Amino acid sequence: MPTSPKKIALVTGGNRGLGRSVVEALAADGVDVVLTYRSHEDEAKQVVDAVADLGGRAEAIRLDVSETAAYAPFTDILRETLRAGWGRDSFDILVNNAGISGHTVLGGTDEETIDLLFAVHYKGVYLLTQALATAPEGTAPLLADGGRIVNVSSGLARFVTMPYAVYGSMKGAVEVLTRYWALELGKRGISVNTIAPGPVATDFADGYLRASEEAQRHMTGLTALGRIAQADDIGPAVAALVRDGTAWITGQRIEASGGFRL
């Protein structure tokens, strides 16, 4: 197969919510996508079809980012997917989006909850990016030189909302990590940034914000733009951050919150 001239993105957790919005926004910009999903394969297939309707190509690969032993076989599958679908040995954009929520009140938090949040939101982000953006000497990394990395953080790394202490702390750690990676990968022309959504009506925290009119009214009153966000407010922001002409932006935290708690 001839090499595809189109850019290719890898979006973790791309089957629903913010991840799906990111996939579809990238596809609308002419970027092809490989998306991962942990469960709900039917949703992943729907996203693949949605990208096709936009005139693009997408492939879905199962990956639980908390299972680090799965990274080696995942990278093998990804490499074969890139070769078979696009005639390439690399991709251009990595969006570390996959995530979970968890209540962590001091005095009422067990070790397993902390370990899982750490595994998904920090350890997984670090080790998966390491597997994709680096390679043994003499071989080429899967993430191409001149590429982009966007780490999805949260407004909860800036403002405090109970009971998300560990989640917010992990997102804060990823924001620091972003600056380190911007320096480490800059010599390859790779820019690395964080995007931090504010309150969004998605499945996060069992969809409490989407379900609670009271919470929506409260948060709307704290938002400069006068409403809470929907998932499709965030995907286009990520797509804008990786467009041609924005590569000089690196090592930055960009909050997409509508001006929440200014």
Residues noted as catalytic: 167
Least Cα distance to 166 among 204, 115, 98, 96 occurs for 115
* Beta-carbon count within 10 A of 123 CB: 16
Strand 58-62: give its sheet, edge to edge: 58-62, 32-37, 8-11, 91-96, 143-152, 191-197, 253-256
CA distances from 128 to 32, 70, 101, 113, 125 (A): 20, 10, 20, 21, 5
d(CA 88, CA 94): 16
d(CA 57, CA 36): 14
